[in-house]
């Protein structure tokens, strides 16, 4: 039968047992040293043939043996009690976590039973309102008034995050080395291609292994701007949402093919993008050639 590790009601706390075990181990070491010394004395008395000394040494050795055995037994007992106490603490911790998890689970299950059906009914009513509105939008877009723009469907209006065009932060004229033939900027810091500048300071040669490229210093307009952000529309509720019944294996939504709301499909799909919005603000530099 497996022994329980639950701490008894009157058992000493773990800290007390740890301190007691440490002291018992020190006392056990002393008892072992004393036993070794008494054993040496007994053997010396035997070798000398002195009966009185042997009797005395034997008595002392017997007492040292009892002290040693009791010290070892005390250490063993305290180690067992400490292990059980630690197991009791761990059991209490796990029991508390278990009770807390069970209470949270029961509360969540109770809310599901009490609120889920009502919540689904509210969501379905909302989706039906969107479908009805989108049908009206589709009819209106097929017969627009003069000068009116087509209407977006309800999801686009509610959920679309508009994009942002590129914003120019600064413009300045800078001198950059460019290839003489193409007048395009070049990297003069490429390893193995040192730049040799001519005495005029405006022309030079990029000398590489086996070839040399003439370069010229030209003015460029340097434009620093933010990166443009595309508009984002999350996946449509009408294609992603699935609402199962509280019990059973059937769906409350969608319950048939018509519920997938074909109205507004083109507008929503056209607004989807496959790029994530940058998490940090990003800028870039553009070098624009200046015509002579």
pLDDT at 221 (0 to 100): 87
Structural Rg of the chain based on CA atoms: 44
Measured over the CA atoms of residue 183, residue 188, residue 193 and residue 195, the dihedral's sign is positive
The pLDDT of residue 10 is 60
Tokens describing residue 25: 């181990």
| pLDDT recorded at residue 105 | 94
> What are the residues whose beta carbons fall under 8 Å from the beta carbon of 263, sequence distance 6 or more?
131, 134, 135, 137, 138, 153
Write down the pTM of the prediction: 0.45
CB 240 within 8 A of CB 232: no
Can you give the length of the chain in residues?
292
CA 136, 141, 144 angle in degrees (round to 5)? 115
d(CA 168, CA 285): 10
**What's the confidence (pLDDT) of residue 292?**
59
pLDDT at 224: 87
- What is the residue-level pLDDT of the chain in tens, covering all 292 positions? 444 444 445 667 888 888 888 998 999 999 999 999 999 999 998 988 889 988 998 999 999 999 999 989 998 988 888 888 888 877 888 888 899 999 999 999 999 999 988 888 888 888 889 989 999 999 999 999 999 999 999 998 998 888 888 888 888 888 889 899 988 888 888 888 899 999 999 999 988 888 889 999 998 888 888 888 888 888 888 878 888 888 877 777 775 333 333 323 333 233 233 334 433 444 555 666 666 5
Identify the pLDDT of residue 99.
Answer: 92
């Amino acid at each position: 039968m497996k022994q329980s590790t639950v701490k008894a009601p009157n058992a000493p706390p773990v800290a007390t047992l740890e301190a007691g075990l440490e002291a018992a181990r020190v006392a056990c070491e002393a008892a072992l040293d004393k036993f070794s010394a008494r054993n040496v004395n007994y053997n010396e008395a035997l070798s000398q043939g002195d009966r009185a000394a042997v009797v005395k040494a034997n008595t002392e050795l017997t007492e040292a043996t009892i002290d040693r055995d009791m010290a070892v037994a005390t250490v063993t007992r305290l180690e067992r009690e400490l292990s059980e106490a630690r197991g009791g603490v761990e059991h209490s911790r796990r029991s508390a976590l278990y009770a807390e998890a069970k209470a949270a689970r029961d509360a969540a299950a109770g809310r599901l039973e009490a609120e889920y059906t009502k919540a689904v009914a509210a969501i379905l009513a909302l989706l039906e309102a969107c479908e009805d509105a989108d049908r009206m939008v589709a009819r209106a877009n097929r017969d627009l008034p003069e000068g009116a723009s087509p209407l977006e469907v309800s999801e686009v209006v509610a959920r679309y995050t508009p994009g942002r065009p590129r914003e120019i932060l600064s413009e300045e004229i800078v001198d950059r080395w460019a290839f003489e033939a193409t007048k395009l900027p070049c990297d003069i810091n490429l390893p193995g291609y040192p730049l040799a500048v001519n005495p005029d300071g405006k022309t030079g040669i990029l000398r590489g292994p086996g070839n040399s490229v003439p370069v010229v210093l030209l003015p460029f307009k340097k434009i620093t701007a933010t990166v443009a952000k595309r508009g984002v529309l999350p996946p449509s509720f009408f294609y992603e949402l699935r609402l199962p019944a509280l019990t059973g294996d059937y769906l409350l939504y969608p319950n048939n093919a018509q519920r997938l709301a074909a109205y507004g499909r083109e507008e929503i799909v056209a607004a989807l993008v496959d790029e994530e919005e940058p998490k940090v603000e990003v800028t870039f530099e553009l070098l624009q050639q200046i015509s002579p």
